[in-house]
């Protein structure tokens, strides 16, 4: 199953630059693992915002939640998930 996931990230003002850098490094590593496992298909940045749009694959909504919750920045993410269904023109 495919999902379009839009998320904004809002880190607390109390987070230091070093903490943010550490989180960024861990986030990239985890995203690479999720790509390798086939869960994270594509990512796009939203210009001018701390927002990302991603195409994800998971067996169901619970598996997607588990994948998203495994991201180090999950505590600061506000996500909107849209399950996707195949369009008849895409089925060849």
Q: What's the predicted TM-score (pTM) here?
A: 0.89
Give the model's pLDDT for residue 90.
81
DSSP code of 48? T
What pLDDT does 56 receive?
98
pLDDT per residue over 19-74, tens digit each?
Answer: 999 999 999 999 999 999 999 999 999 999 989 999 999 999 999 999 999 999 99
| Domains of the chain, start order | 2-86 (3.30.70.1060)
Q: Which two tokens stand for residue 13?
A: 């003002």
Mean pLDDT for 72-82 is 96
Query: What are the φ and ψ backbone dihedral angles of 32, each rounded to 5 degrees?
Result: -65, -40
* Per-position DSSP letters for 65-92, written without gaps between them: HHHHHTSTTGGGEEEEEEEE---GGG--
**For position 81, what pLDDT does the model report?**
97
Q: Is the pLDDT of residue 92 over 90?
A: no
**Per-residue pLDDT, 38:** 97
């Amino acid at each position: 199953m495919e999902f379009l996931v839009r998320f904004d990230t809002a880190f607390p003002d109390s987070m230091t630059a070093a903490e943010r850098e550490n989180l960024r490094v861990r986030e990239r590593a985890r995203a690479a693992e999720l790509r390798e496992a086939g869960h994270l298909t594509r990512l796009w940045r939203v210009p001018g915002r701390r927002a990302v749009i991603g195409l994800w694959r998971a067996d169901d909504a619970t598996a997607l939640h588990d994948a998203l919750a495994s991201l180090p920045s999950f505590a600061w993410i506000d996500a909107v998930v849209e399950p996707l269904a195949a369009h008849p023109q895409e089925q060849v």
